[in-house]
Amino acid sequence: MRYREGNPPLPLSARTGGCDFSSPLGRRLVRALQDAAPGPLLVDTGFPGRQQAVDRDLNLPDRGPLLFRLWSNQSSIIASCKQARSPRFAAARAQSAAAGWPVVARRSGGTAVVHRPGIWNFSLIRFAAPAEDVAIERDYAMLLSVLRQAMARIGILCDQGGVAGAHCDGKYNLRWQGRKLAGTAACITRRDGRPLRIFHAALAVDGSVREDLAAIERFERALGEYRDYARDAHVTVRQILDENHIGGRPHDARRPTAMAV
């Protein structure tokens, strides 16, 4: 693993908790994702602006038909495109920012999610041929397969499916023993006349899920959306490893090219 000179690894956040890519757990996870990915993995260690981090998947140069990107973001609430159209959005965004959680919008649907150093974002980016059919089920299956293989390499066996009481719930969640470990979303668009498909997962690695859910609930209530999320419906990688005394190293396997930016 290498980092671009002058661009240090992400710092740990004392307030929100976090796991940087160069910490012991971070190195294990990055290695596991490299081993599992069937294409090149871009390890994005920069901390650009919050909105720029979210939009970067859309603006990456074409590096072949399939690319994976691993990245993190500053502490923020990421609103769905539907929420961003709400007449209450501006006031809700200001209230959330005053509480320490700036809000940016994404192009996909669903409901609000949290970004912070302890949430790792993992994107599957497919630059498709103009006549290629969109295969949402296939690409979601590939994304989840990579995550499940990576988790298995560090001793965590996962499946997929909905989780009652979880925020931004869906059938493509990554689950561990019925609890949500990662949520997913998709963005289907076009660039230069070609289909561009992005399938994204937000993996809870470390930090306080309770604080995350409190921030989401506060923002959504300001929008007039009243949902209460179950704290025990969620889990982090750190919790699983600590509570189940899972250790050791991920086994050696083929490693596709890892690129650092």
So which residues are the catalytic ones? 168
Degrees (nearest 5) of the Cα angle 177, 125, 101? 65
Residue 4, CB-side half-sphere exposure with 13 Å CA sphere:
10
Which helix (H) or strand (E) is 196 found in, with range?
strand 194-204
Q: Which of 221, 183, 189 is nearest to 203 (CA)?
A: 183
Query: Tokens 């919050």, residue?
Result: 50
Q: 137: which 2 tokens?
A: 């089920």
Residue 158, CB-side half-sphere exposure with 13 Å CA sphere:
31
The string of DSSP letters for 147-191 reads HHHHHHHTT---EE---TT-TT--TT-EEETTEEEEEEEEEEEEE
Q: 43: which 2 tokens?
A: 């390890």
Alpha-carbon gap, residue 200 to 22, rounded angstroms: 22
Among the residues of 78-171, which ranges form H helices? 81-84, 89-98, 136-153
Query: Could you tell me whether strands 258-260 and 41-44 are parallel, antiparallel, or unpaired per DSSP bridges?
Result: parallel
